[in-house]
Structure 1
Amino acid sequence: MRKTFQDYQFSRVLDYALAFIMPVLAVVAALALGAIMLWLLDVDPREAYENLYNGAVGVSRGSPVLNIDSRSETFVKAIPLLFVGIGICIAFRAGVINVGGEGQMIAGAVVGTAVALEMESIPGIFTWVPWDDFPRLASITVVMFSAFVGGAVWGSIAGVLKAYFNVNEILSTIMLNQIAFQVMFYLLKGDLQDPRQQSRAGGIAKTVKVPEHTRLPRLTWFTDVNIRLHAGLLVAIALAVLVYVLLWRTTYGYRIRAVGKNPRAARYAGINVRRQVVYAMVWSGGFAGLAGI
């Protein structure tokens, strides 16, 4: 039976409704499953979720006053997840299950930190520009781009293995996570280690603090409290919007989604499936690399 215009309208409305309802149902299902597990552990689920909520939004028991510092810390911890989630979304739309966000984030952190520390040894690199804020803006841009490249290169390894050698991306990205860990630990005990730690026994390996002009500015304009919330939140939100436009409003995004939906049909349509898989992992790894900064 031929569908009418009203049928198409109903189908479209149903798709929009499901797009909104399904994430809500997923959250409810997760909370329900967590409540069951807490109950099996002889813990009151209501009290546990109440403490979880109060800790996240900064509400003290018996006090209606919100703690701005606690709420800002929730956002601070969410910012890396936003960057990684944006990257994972791109890979998923291409039909690639990227579980290597952690390793790609580490790769971005290592490269970005190395570049930031190197920029400290080049005094006056951007001071020739008359705009006072340009040196810091340029430094932050260079560091973030370096982190993106580090994560993108790490993600491209799994993309190439998937596209040209048919290596399962789940296995390759998990193994690349471990390699990234070991490379990071090696560098933290070597070239990137804080010289002041070399004479100490034990302790947590770390680098020298990166210069202040390479760090994202804190969002302290709306409060007098010295919070750690920084401009990375605004960057992540802006990138999420841009990625949405890229995936759903451009021909490039259409090719990525076509490969994810049906690689064979995409190939018959003239789309280079292998190239799109690699590109998707490059973008995915790059955004995960930004989370390291």
Structure 2
Amino acid sequence: MSPHRMDRPSLLGTVTLLLACCLLFFGRTAYAQTLVLAQISDRPKKDYRQLRPMADHIVQAMAPFGFRRAEVRLYPDLPAFEQAIRNGQVHWITETPLTAARLYQHQLAIPVARKWKRGQQTYQSLIYVAKDSPIHNLGDLAGRIMAFEHPDSFTSFFLPLQALRQAGMTLVPLDSPHQSVPADKVGYTFSRNERNNLLWVDKGIAAAGALNDGDWSIPDRLPAELVQRMRIIHRSPSYPRAFEMVTSTLEPEAREALQQALLSLDPERDRPLLQRYEKSSRITPLEAGDLDLLRSLEVETLP
């Protein structure tokens, strides 16, 4: 037999081995996945810039699970966000307790860590009025206008709305802050951001506003001279500032890897990366009671 001749079984074995190697190589390439970090946003350009560096960092820890690149996706409202999750288009979420509770209660995502956003581990809602206002308690807001910040705001919509309801007030939405309000109700409208909220109260457009205590106390967040002209009439309990969550689109091992990658971020070593991530200072484990909190928030009572 010629020394260059190969019998049929050996030839078939070699071909099979080569084919397996090709499938392994090209299969990994073909099935390379994109890790998607998402949240609700009404300022997509700013939020994209804040989230993208962290997504690019964390995806490196996800390579063993087939993830080769990261992407940030921002959704205009909760229905669009939830539909994307149901469609398997989202893996990882960073959100405040309001949206986190909605997703957890709807069985669309579970929390894996706390985020200290803007340097705050916890925060609370404040309802405030002008210093010279005749309003001294929540009951005094009857017949007046309340300025909330945004329909998806935990501390500037959900919590103050709940506080007013618990005080026996009936709230009615307004199309404009210039509408009249029934004498026995509190009208409300949305200022869209913290500065507007404060300005509306200062200019008398709204009788009261709602912000979180970080907006109020952290220097340079709001004009100090305006803050000094205000008086706080209500403080809510404190709540976790933000949660990192994962969806069932990730396999359990991949979820754990993402969680560990987040928790391994060092406040000193990774300070620049954390600061870019919505001005975070650290990411820490969940605490006892966090799941009960998300389960107990009455998010379905929102208008």
User: Shorter-chain TM-score: which interval?
Assistant: under 0.3
**Radius of gyration: which is bigger?**
2
Normalized per residue, the structure richer in helix is 1
Q: Higher strand share goes to which structure?
A: 2
Q: Which has the higher contact order (CA 8 A, sep 6+)?
A: 1
